[in-house]
Amino acid sequence: ETGVTQTPRHLVMGMTNKKSLKCEQHLGHNAMYWYKQSAKKPLELMFVYNFKEQTENNSVPSRFSPECPNSSHLFLHLHTLQPEDSALYLCASSQTGFSYEQYFGPGTRLTVT
């Protein structure tokens, strides 16, 4: 596989469930990102990892818990979410330095019921 992949593509979960989103990049990049896209809002950065270390947490509630075991894999663990957390969650990767051009995955469409 090439590029950035995300699984699952669609997820429906109840407010008491625990689930995880997975992202994998095959581009040899050293930075990975989680973004949230809600209806009629800009893409919103959630977390940044550089060389497996979290360098940015954009005031995200603790019910979202990221994990980056290595430079190629990124997870977003979800627990006790709210209906307003329903959104498209995009993963991206980039090389650090210079331009930080983002390479995006296809996203996970999350619905919290």
Least distance between another protein and beta carbon 71 (Å): 14
Least distance between another protein and beta carbon 73 (Å): 18
- List all residues 6 or more positions away from 83 whose beta carbon is below 8 Å from its beta carbon: 15, 112, 113
Measuring CA to CA, which residue among 18, 23, 20, 19 is closest to residue 6? 23
Nearer to another protein, 82 or 96 (CB): 96
Instruction: Give the interface with another protein as residue ranges (CB under 8 A).
Output: 3-4, 31, 40-45, 48, 50, 55-56, 58, 90, 94, 96, 99-107
Nearer to another protein, 54 or 113 (CB): 54
CA distances from 93 to 31, 51, 74 (A): 5, 11, 10
Strand partners of residue 82: none
- Residues 19 and 77: their CA atoms lie apart, in Å, by 6
Least distance between another protein and beta carbon 18 (Å): 27
Nearer to another protein, 9 or 77 (CB): 9
Nearer to another protein, 108 or 112 (CB): 108
